[in-house]
Structure 1
Amino acid sequence: MSAAEPVRLSVVVPAFDEEAYLPATLASLARQHVPGGFEVVVVDNASTDGTAAVAARHGARVVREETPGVCAARQRGTEEARGAVVVSTDADTVHPDGWLARLAGHFDDDDVVAVAGPCRYLDPPWWARIFPTGWFAVISAVHALTGRVLYVTATNIAFRREGFPGYDTRLTQGGDEVDLLRRLRRRGRVVWDGGNPVLTSSRRMDQGLLHTLVVSYGYHYALNLALNRLRPDRVMHVAPVIREQQAATSRRLRRRWRVAVAVAVTAGLVLSRRRSGER
């Protein structure tokens, strides 16, 4: 699709060192069919691998954003988008056939400014199967009862580009999603489509339940959002990127810690028994 050719939708895909996951993401987008056409904009967020080359080979339009962080990348992609509707997704996410057309169909209603849907995880640990499913079920139920959307995930949301005030690039890891929903509500009706999920990588859960709840959601998400909303300058910085190598290192450290604890407990029991025998 040429740069001058008009499109109805622009799919924005922020990407940092995603050459391993990006091919599956772009292949799933290539299978989508939307009346009026669409473009795919991959925002290369200062990658050090072949992300940009992979995106270009798959026919995506590639733009570069040097500022680190997915929020800055999404902002740049939205600025570069040519479609009347901007669709946000992630570089480690695959999209079922018909996903994009279903999103686009909601915008036939002029009152709708945005539509969002859930995500499901690919090969997640047991707890990541239960908690997100329950959370998105609650969102669907509340929307059905009240018409209000409690939460959106930036890997599955579309909004009208006209008049969009932009992301708050001070925010990181999920804070941009909450702030985006707040800004979109001011413009009109936000719709939840619980029957139009995407499938995203579960690698962020590889460091375990405790790390996900306390560090990822508690520290980098909730605390970051609260502090950066209270102060005009960025208090906390972008959360570290989760990659397989980091997750593997974390798993090794946890195993070593468990072994050390087991050895210490065993040694303590042995010493205790010896002392008891000496008495």
Structure 2
Amino acid sequence: MTPADPVRLTVVVPAFDEEAYLPATLASLARQQVPGGFEVVVVDNASTDGTAEVATRHGARVVREEAPGVCAARQRGTEEARGAIVVSTDADTVHPDGWLARLAARFDDEDVVAVAGPCRYLDPPWWARVFPVGWFTLIGAVHALTGRVLYVTATNVAFRRDGFPGYDTRLTQGGDEVDLLRRLRRVGRVVWDGGNPVLTSSRRMDQGLLHTLVVSYGYHYALNLALNRLAPDRVMHVAPAVRAQQAAGSRRLRRRWRVVAAVLVTAGLLLSRRRRGAGRRR
């Protein structure tokens, strides 16, 4: 497909140092078939690795965005889009066959301005396997009862480019999800398709449940979103990137702590047993 060819959809993939995950993402997109055609735009968000080269080798159109943050990258990708429908996903996400065609079909309804779907995690810890099912089931139930979408994940949402209100580029985490949903609702109808999930990396959860809830979601997501929306200028900055090397390091650290915990528990049980035995002999 040449830059002059018309397309119906543009898939925007923001990427910062994603050379390890990007090949699987782009390979899954290459298998998609959509009436009207589609293009893939990878937004290189000032990467320092081979992200741009990997994207080019896989046939994606690459644009570079120097301003840090996923909202700035997604905004740039949307501005570069040639398709009438813009699809947002991530560089560590794998898309099942038929995913894009199913998204596109929902826009046959002219009243629909956006379509969102769920994600599942690849090789997650047990709690990250359970949480998305419950969370996205709740979103689907509320949508079925009220027609209202509570939340969109930026790795599986599409919207019409005409009339798109734009991302708030002051925002970082959450700006491409919670704030995007708020802006899209002002334009028109947002619908939910719970039967069209994607599979995304669980690397952000490799530091454990407590760290994910308190640091990742509580601090970097919720507090970041709230403060940056209230302030005239960005107060909190982009969360530290978690890439393949950091994720592997976190997994090794968690395994070591499990060993330490097991040793301490075993030692505690043995000590308790010895004390009970000594007490009986007295």
Give your verdict on TM over 0.5.
Answer: yes
2:112 aligned residue: 112
User: What's the offset of the Cα at 1:253?
Assistant: 5.1
Match of 2:3 in 1: 3
AA matched with 1:105: A
Note if contact 1:175-1:221 (Cα within 8 Å) is conserved in structure 2: no
SS at match of 1:12: strand
1:244/1:27 Cα in 2 relative to 1: closer, same or farther (>3 Å)? closer
SS at match of 2:79: helix
2: CA distance between counterparts of 1:80 and 1:42? 10
Name 1:217's counterpart in structure 2: 217
Separation (CA, whole Å) in 2 of partners of 1:74 and 1:37: 21
Q: Is the 8 A contact 2:70 2:176 kept in 1?
A: no
TM-score (norm 2): 0.90
Which residue pairs with 1:30 in the alignment? 30
Q: CA deviation at 1:226?
A: 1.1
Deviation at 1:3, TM superposition (A): 1.1
Poorly superposed stretches of 4+, deviation over 6 Å: 255-258, 260-263
Q: Normalising by structure 1, report the TM-score.
A: 0.91
Q: Which moved more, 1:103-112 or 1:254-263?
A: 254-263
Per-residue CA distance 1:208-242 (angstroms, 9 max, x = gap): 11110000000011111111121111110001111
Match of 1:277 in 2: none
Residue 207 (str. 1) matches residue 201 (str. 2): no
User: Unpaired segments of 5 or more residues in structure 1?
Assistant: 274-279
> Is 102-111 or 222-231 further displaced after alignment?
222-231
Secondary structure in 1 matching 2:187:
coil
Contact 1:87 1:156 in 2 (8 A): yes
Question: Any stretches of 5+ residues in structure 2 without a counterpart?
Answer: 276-282
**Structural RMSD (CA):** 2.3
2:126 corresponds to which residue?
126
Structure 1 CA distance, aligned partners of 2:254 and 2:98? Answer: 42
Name 1:276's counterpart in structure 2. Answer: none
Alignment of 1:74-85 (within 5 A): 74-85=74-85
Deviation of 1:252 after TM superposition, in Å, equals: 5.1
The 5 A counterparts of 1:175-186 are 175-186=175-186
Equivalence for 2:167: 167
For 2:192, give the aligned amino acid: W
Shift of 1:245: 2.4
The one-letter code sitting in structure 1 at the alignment partner of 2:47 is: S
Identity %: 89
